[in-house]
Homo-oligomer: A and B are copies of this chain.
Amino acid sequence: MREVAIIGIGQTKVDELWGKSLRELAGDASLAALHDAGLDRVDAVYVGNMMSGSANQQLHLGAYVADWIGMRYSEAFHTEAACSSGAASFRTALMAVASGEVDTALAVGVEKMTDSPGDEITSQLATAADAEWEAGQGLSFVALNALIMRRYMHEYGWKKEDFAGFSVNAHANAMANPFARFHEPITAESYAKAPMIADPINLMDASAIGDGAAAAILVPLNRVRSSAGGRIVIVAGSGAATDTIAIDQRSEPTWLKAAYLSSKMAYEQAGVTPQDIDLFELHDAFSIMAALSLEANGFAERGKGPQLALDGEILLSGRIPVATRGGLKARGHPVGATGMYQIVEVVQQLRGEAVGSQVEKARVGMAQNIGGSGSNIITHILRI
């Protein structure tokens, strides 16, 4: 297997981008990544997206994006794994380059959600759950996460306010990220006063959807020109695993087994342990998912995830900085794009380009993208 490096990254702001179409969003991020890599051509384009078929009446995003960005005739197709669609496109690009089938690959995640009314988006997001056993019973995604959070609080004795630190940290880190949706600091007090959405999840526990795209260029490490300059970011580890699609089928709904399994693969491939990870872009779609991710990936003991937030260990200066550019909570969560935003942000940190929220001496970073209620989890470890 060939070692693979990331030589270019690009992203758009996450926002309600009424002036940008689906193809323009994907194009803007992709062309920025190509420019960053100093390339004008790639062999393959893999597009991560969840819901364009219903939200934008457009499927076939491989050919659609490749054509728009001037990569006509390249290989191209679309990967989907609900909210982990972005990481699926990155893993596809990694396997394509590692296999030798492809020498230069573009992975781009894109989602254009604000073309659809909010109630339709809620239904479309529910297609990540089990249509017959969950969505058909009226369970929305926030409701599913509320069930998990309520169970977790019951099992381990946490109070709702113990989760505030995850959201406060995310909003603080987003202040310096020009691509983040929110530039509004919040406090434990404003968190406590936020309107309830699905008890116990309030507005400040939940990430905001939005429009956006993020992209990266992958090449074999041995073809990176020494003249490229700057730090070369290597894909050191990759792992993917699933769990039941419906949470009622799990014996332990508060344990992200797929996260445990996928990071185990990535750790082993990279030859590192949780102690070696300098920053962790986790999937804080809801604050409960941040806590569960820290536990399943070996950063906290089981049932003790919120303690890392209470102790300040998730801050930029802490033991394991998370959501360093705002995370899903404050950078925003354009669902199929999120996994690629996480990769872009880890690359920024490792290159020392995370202006305003740089983790000092960051050499190894991890990104983990979650699809469904923990039913599809893809983990990547990058290093310089």
Contact = CB atoms under 8 A, between A and B. Distances in A.
A238 interface: yes
Interface string A96-128: 101111100000000000000000000110111
B62 A81 contact: yes
Interface stretch (A298-306, A309-317, A370-378): A370-378
Interface of A is mostly: mixed
Given A57-B135, A132-B21, A63 B245 contact: yes
A77 interface: yes
Interface string A59-101: 1111110110001111111111110110010011011101111
Interface residues of A, number: 69
Contacts of A101: 1, 91, 94-95, 98, 238
A190 interface: no
Copy number in the complex reads 2
A234 B94 CA distance: 23
Given A1-B101, A72-B244, A92-B95, A80 B63 contact: no
Contact of A77 (B53, B76, B81, B102): B81
Interface in A286-339: none
B376 A73 contact: no
A51 B128 CA distance: 14
A88 B74 CA distance: 14
A245 B64 contact: yes
A371 B63 contact: yes
Contact of A242 (B62, B243, B376): B62
B80 A127 contact: no
A198 to B, nearest CB: 20
Contacts of A246: 67
B127 A75 contact: no
A130 interface: yes
Interface of A: 1, 21, 44, 50-51, 53-54, 56-64, 66-67, 71-82, 84-85, 88, 91-92, 94-96, 98-102, 123-124, 126-132, 135, 238, 240-246, 249, 257-258, 261, 371-372, 375-376
10 contacts: A51-B53, A60-B128, A63-B244, A63-B372, A66-B242, A73-B257, A78-B79, A78-B88, A79-B80, A99-B99
Given A53-B124, A63-B242, A91-B101, 4 more contacts: A51-B59, A67-B242, A67-B243, A95-B101
